[in-house]
Structure 1
Amino acid sequence: MMLLQQLKKYAPLLLFFALTGCNKTDWNENFKEKEKSPFGNYIIYNEASTLFNSDRVTLLKQNIYDYLMFESLIDSAKTQNYVSIKHSGYKYTNGTTTELLNFVAKGNNVFLAFNNFRDTLKTSLKFTTNNLDKDVYVIKALKKLKGTFELKNTQFSKTSFTFDRNIRRNYFLQYNKNSTSVLGTMEVDGEKVPNFIKIHHGKGAFYLHTQPIAFTNYNLLNGNEAYAANVLSYLPNAPVIWDPQIKSSKYQDEKEDNTNVFKFFLAHKTLTWFLFVSLIGLLLFMLFNARRKQRPIPIIEPLKNSTVAFTQTIANLYLKEQDHKNLVDKKIAYFLEKVRSKYLLSTANLNADFIEKLASKSGNELQKTKYLVNTIIALNKKLECSEEELVVLHKMIENFFNK
């Protein structure tokens, strides 16, 4: 109830989202504590002191590894809560995970709400996850993802909550039942699967949640503020270290990042062999490539076929002299020669039998073939031919062979 009253002052933000519309509102999942966009963490962070009934909520300004190893003065007699709500925990290196495990083992508590957990943490706490919507990134596609969450604790006035967008089907698949308690579930394909668990480790515990979107501004202002309050109420009343994960480590993390690629290759036998074979292949390539190469063989241009140019020159000469009869005779001779070579027909007698055979073998109509042959006979008898007759003959022959 107290949280609900506190959230009323954020009502103008909801009105702002409604008026501006999707085109102007940033619907990207940024999970930033200073962002007032729908999927920022501005409200949850600023109301953390109300949720935990404590005034000691510290926004971590350095990497958690550096804080735990070098810059914190942790009283072993007092417990603390470490909270991080982000898209993924991939920024945690192996060294960071080890320090968090030690931090919890001493009696402190860690709350992590991630879509993706680092494999080192999964191995150490013996759990696995399954995300059926891990390949969904587009805002329009995320908008269609809906879900219903439930909390196991019946002491809450409300234990079932419906979320209308960006709810991936992300849940815990396997876990150690001896050290793990299921605190909350979500419905996936008609089955209730755990999405909020508590894993005991040493004197403390890890509280892990697979839906960080549930703690963003949009859902806190959209009727699901009680869910966030109920989930975080599992943490004890103690000082809170709130981690925005915006800083890189000054120490261990940077050194690890500079060598992690080769460590990954050397950690797998097949990849190690691949690395060695690639290096040997590269050295052999450089060795053989360093030898003196043969001089390039000059390209000898082939002799150009000048037949076309010669023919064009002769044709232009005839056209210039206006000797159309001579060109007609040559076109006729060309036609008859091609008929003899292509269709194996004798052109000694251009009679009806020849016309019928020529039409049959060439695939031309009998009437058109007869007209062409009769035109050739008529022009062959003339002593003079006009330019128009030459052009007509040329087109008839071209059409005949293009059939």
Structure 2
Amino acid sequence: MKKILPALLIIVALVVTASLVIGIKKTKTVDWEESFNEKSNKPYGVSVFYKELHHLFKDSKIRTVYHQPGSYLRANSEDGYGEHVAEGSYIIIGNSDYLEDDSVDELLNFVDAGNTLFISDYYFAQKIHDTLNIDVDYILNEKDSISYQSLKYIDMESTIIDKNMGDNYFSRFDTINYNVLGYSKIDYKHANFIQVPFGDGNIYLHLEPKAFTNYNLLKENRYKYVEGLISYLPKNNVYFDSYIKIQTGYDGDVEKESNLSWFLEQLSFRWAWYTALIFGVLFMIFNAKRRQRIIKIIKPLQNTTIAFVKTVSNLYFDTQDHKNLIDKKITYFLEKIRTDFNLDTSTLNSEFIDKLAAKTGKKKEDIKTIIDYINWLRSKNEFFEENLIKLNRHIEAFYTT
């Protein structure tokens, strides 16, 4: 051991020296990508605005939408299978061009029913332009990279947006029925924030999404401009359209980042972690040989069936494989019906519901609820935790009532 100790000290010294040299020489570059990601702390992420929503809309329910608005709003309508009826304000910051036509239709129906849509982006989905009869043009900033943002009906100084090579503005819109609420100025003022009455609700379209980013919200008093923009929205439920679904194909199957990822992004923490790992490996190497072998303790055999079931179920749940679990629960439920009531479950129609209700003595409405929900699940390609929980409640209710 005495011969190994000097070598161990040399290795430790080399690791510490390397970490210090890299830490001194490494220059951290700033990522100026305009992602508008609500999870990003980079300059043009919107994590600050996302976290402040609870303060901007006190006593209101804030929901983050990880799906296409079309499927989400249909599911959470009066005739849908969602947990609530969507009412309030739907907010989209940047990246609105991903919207498909059916999502635009559902958003317009949402507004027509008396709700609010707020979009801040450079351009909008083509169907929005066509439906609302608006055009957006671009003006190049030839003098510097600064534009001035102002609100028409709110008494406040113009807000500077720097690092701005140009401005987008509304070049065509219905000047009689649409209300101009704000302007952007480079050489002259042009409308960049309008209110569009639509049915019983309102659509607010804004053309400078950088105002909502971390960089601008944390610089000087620029946050007041965003407060002014948001002040037009009613104090009601808020649906925030997540950027993350764009990264994962709109299906809402968002990959959760490791809790260690933030630490690994910090140079000092990263080297501390690597050093600890190296020490751990060295400790295991030099302590692999023990003076005496471990005397095994032979424990009596235990019934581990319940523990095994818990382990397997936790494994499925932790992997977020909701589709697999839902398929298995439906399969086992139908197998139970075939075994207990000798019914053919290949076709789950009204005739099957009548037969099952007759054999079980349960209310036909209760049987129809669970069978309709199973048929609905079989028609879907994406599943979420709430779907699994709701299916489990229906099955438990079937056996207990």
**TM-score, normalized by length of structure 2?**
0.51
Please tell me whether Structure 1 or Structure 2 has the larger radius of gyration of its CA atoms.
1
User: Which residue of structure 1 aligns with residue 212 of structure 2?
Assistant: 215
User: Which residue of structure 1 aligns with residue 113 of structure 2?
Assistant: 106
Separation (CA, whole Å) in 1 of partners of 2:165 and 2:207: 10
Structure 1 residue runs without a partner (length 5+): 1-19, 252-403
Larger RCO: 1 or 2 (CA < 8 Å, sep 6+): 1
User: Which residue of structure 2 aligns with residue 225 of structure 1?
Assistant: 223
Say whether the 8 Å CA contact 1:116–1:210 is kept in structure 2.
yes
Separation (CA, whole Å) in 1 of partners of 2:59 and 2:134: 31
Structure 1 residues 197-243: Cα deviation after superposition (integer angstroms, max 9, x where no partner): 11000000111100100110000011201001111011010110000
Q: Helix, strand or coil for the counterpart of 2:244?
A: coil
Letter in 2 for 1:117: F
Separation (CA, whole Å) in 1 of partners of 2:59 and 2:217: 20
- 1:151 paired with 2:151, answer yes
Separation (CA, whole Å) in 2 of partners of 1:21 and 1:165: 25
Say whether the 8 Å CA contact 1:152–1:159 is kept in structure 2.
no
**Cα separation, partners in 2 of 1:245 and 1:30, compared to 1, 3 Å:** closer
Separation (CA, whole Å) in 2 of partners of 1:245 and 1:26: 17
Separation (CA, whole Å) in 1 of partners of 2:203 and 2:27: 37
Structure 1 residues 341-371: Cα deviation after superposition (integer angstroms, max 9, x where no partner): xxxxxxxxxxxxxxxxxxxxxxxxxxxxxxx
List aligned pairs for 1:159-170, cutoff 5 A: 159-166=157-164, 168-170=166-168
Q: Helix, strand or coil for the counterpart of 1:185?
A: strand
Letter in 2 for 1:162: I
Structure 1 residues 239-262: Cα deviation after superposition (integer angstroms, max 9, x where no partner): 1000024334569xxxxxxxxxxx
Separation (CA, whole Å) in 1 of partners of 2:26 and 2:44: 15
Separation (CA, whole Å) in 1 of partners of 2:174 and 2:219: 35
Separation (CA, whole Å) in 1 of partners of 2:84 and 2:198: 19
Say whether the 8 Å CA contact 2:70–2:105 is kept in structure 1.
no
Q: Helix, strand or coil for the counterpart of 2:119?
A: strand
- 1:45 paired with 2:43, answer no
User: Which residue of structure 1 aligns with residue 137 of structure 2?
Assistant: 130
Letter in 2 for 1:62: H
Structure 1 residues 276-317: Cα deviation after superposition (integer angstroms, max 9, x where no partner): xxxxxxxxxxxxxxxxxxxxxxxxxxxxxxxxxxxxxxxxxx
Separation (CA, whole Å) in 2 of partners of 1:186 and 1:23: 33
User: Which residue of structure 1 aligns with residue 63 of structure 2?
Assistant: 58
Separation (CA, whole Å) in 1 of partners of 2:233 and 2:52: 15
Say whether the 8 Å CA contact 1:63–1:249 is kept in structure 2.
yes
Separation (CA, whole Å) in 1 of partners of 2:250 and 2:149: 35
Match for residue 25 of structure 1 among 17, 30, 33: 30
**Cα separation, partners in 2 of 1:53 and 1:128, compared to 1, 3 Å:** same
Deviation at 1:35, TM superposition (A): 0.4
Deviation at 1:115, TM superposition (A): 1.1
Deviation at 1:179, TM superposition (A): 2.3
Deviation at 1:131, TM superposition (A): 1.5
Q: Helix, strand or coil for the counterpart of 2:109?
A: helix
**Cα separation, partners in 2 of 1:130 and 1:70, compared to 1, 3 Å:** same
Structure 1 residues 162-189: Cα deviation after superposition (integer angstroms, max 9, x where no partner): 2222363111111012321000001132
**Cα separation, partners in 2 of 1:83 and 1:167, compared to 1, 3 Å:** farther
Match for residue 82 of structure 1 among 90, 94, 97: 90
Separation (CA, whole Å) in 1 of partners of 2:27 and 2:152: 35
List aligned pairs for 1:381-400, cutoff 5 A: none
**Cα separation, partners in 2 of 1:21 and 1:83, compared to 1, 3 Å:** farther
Identity %: 31
Letter in 2 for 1:199: V
Separation (CA, whole Å) in 2 of partners of 1:159 and 1:203: 32
Separation (CA, whole Å) in 2 of partners of 1:74 and 1:198: 31
List aligned pairs for 1:165-184, cutoff 5 A: 165-166=163-164, 168-184=166-182
User: Which residue of structure 2 aligns with residue 239 of structure 1?
Assistant: 237
Letter in 2 for 1:81: S
**Cα separation, partners in 2 of 1:70 and 1:55, compared to 1, 3 Å:** closer
Q: Helix, strand or coil for the counterpart of 2:29?
A: coil
Say whether the 8 Å CA contact 2:182–2:193 is kept in structure 1.
yes
Separation (CA, whole Å) in 2 of partners of 1:99 and 1:39: 29
Separation (CA, whole Å) in 1 of partners of 2:226 and 2:162: 15
User: Which residue of structure 1 aligns with residue 322 of structure 2?
Assistant: none
Deviation at 1:55, TM superposition (A): 4.0
Separation (CA, whole Å) in 1 of partners of 2:175 and 2:26: 45
Structure 1 residues 115-165: Cα deviation after superposition (integer angstroms, max 9, x where no partner): 1212110110111100235xx9xxxx9x952100111114x4x14112222
Separation (CA, whole Å) in 2 of partners of 1:124 and 1:197: 15
Separation (CA, whole Å) in 1 of partners of 2:88 and 2:225: 22
Structure 2 residue runs without a partner (length 5+): 1-24, 253-401
Deviation at 1:69, TM superposition (A): 1.3
Q: Helix, strand or coil for the counterpart of 2:99?
A: coil
Letter in 1 for 2:39: K
Separation (CA, whole Å) in 2 of partners of 1:219 and 1:115: 17
Separation (CA, whole Å) in 1 of partners of 2:133 and 2:181: 17
